[in-house]
Amino acid sequence: MADWQEITGGITAPRGYQAAGITAGLKPSGLPDLALIFSEVEAIAAGVFTTCQVKAACVEYCRQRLQAKQSARAILCNAGQANAATGNQGWFDALESALAIAQALNISSESVLLASTGVIGQRIKMDALRSGIPKVVAALSDTASDAAAGAIITTDLVTKSIALETTISDRPVRIGGIAKGSGMIHPNMATMLAFVTCDAVVSPHLWQQMLARAADRSFNSITVDGDTSTNDSLIALANGQSRTPAIIEWGAEAEKLEAMLTAVCQHLAKAIARDGEGATCLIEVEVTGAHDEISARQIAKTIAGSSLVKSAIFGRDPNWGRIAAAAGRAGVPFEQENLQIKLGDFLMLENGQPLTFDRAAASAYLKKASVGAYLQQDTVLISVNVGNGYGVGKAWGCDLSYDYVKINAEYTT
């Protein structure tokens, strides 16, 4: 069993954090569009960002801030405009946003991190942002995680939130997180944003390492449509308000904290994949027998991202040949005669040889997942073994439905 428990509160569950989410007039829909996360004290900060060569101004801003100082107190996120591919003026808008929220909070602008989501090529509506900043600061509350989660979404159908608690040195330690993302999801750290808060005391170097590994095992292991965003950002704060002894080197306590951080990130990542635009189910791919974890994850992510596999799942067609083909083109060497493929409990290929299976029952398994409870009985499991290695990796995706094209064909019109 996991050495932690799920609790309520999201990003405000850890001690010393407040959040807010308001409608500032940034979105044409009139829905909430400005979120703020605030730590009562300076917090160790870490980030993992998109590797896309076309980066939003907020991504470049955060990279520079975290290189100069690995701490922060506030994260401001606007929805509606991505502020990506907006030239010099987009950069100046980011700087102005950071300065404005810093002045409203009476903190240094160097303690502010930024995130944006929305349409690429559109600047932030600065008049609306300026008017919204006093309102979002006034709305700060230690019970407003849900409001913040609702203010960062775009095409998402549901908000994504989680909080976990464990014990370190006989004191409770909590990690909370919120995320957004539904389309343009194929992170290379899609539009994907995730914010994590923690009240442990941990060194900046360790916290960044933990976050990078957690990202690889969660957000970098999901795909919806194969498109990496200009704005992908994962930002994590650790403010030390649990009053536990500082974790400054690798050991049992660091391992426990990273495991819980990874669990938070994986929950949010799966929620993003399940909420893929037009999706009817979550796909979980587990690959075993690879040379190492990286190789196993690469095969798993290739299968999860295959348009042919995703289409077959949507059509409730147990076409395992598409799974085999995707595994074979992942760029990871393995012997074909070692390949094994299972769909749920249905063994379809063993030692590279096709097996007879109940196709009607396998199709019914796929249909059942499409009507299952959200993130509970709505998961299609694909298990692939490629040999006798120790590498194990997982990836998550979703099926590809007609609605994905409908949603994206007229996104800006």
- Which residues are identified as catalytic? 191
Nearest to 372 by CA among 299, 274, 286, 276: 274
Contact present, 149 and 21 (Cβ < 8 Å): yes
- Look up residue 332 and give its two tokens: 């990871």
The amino acid occupying position 101 is I
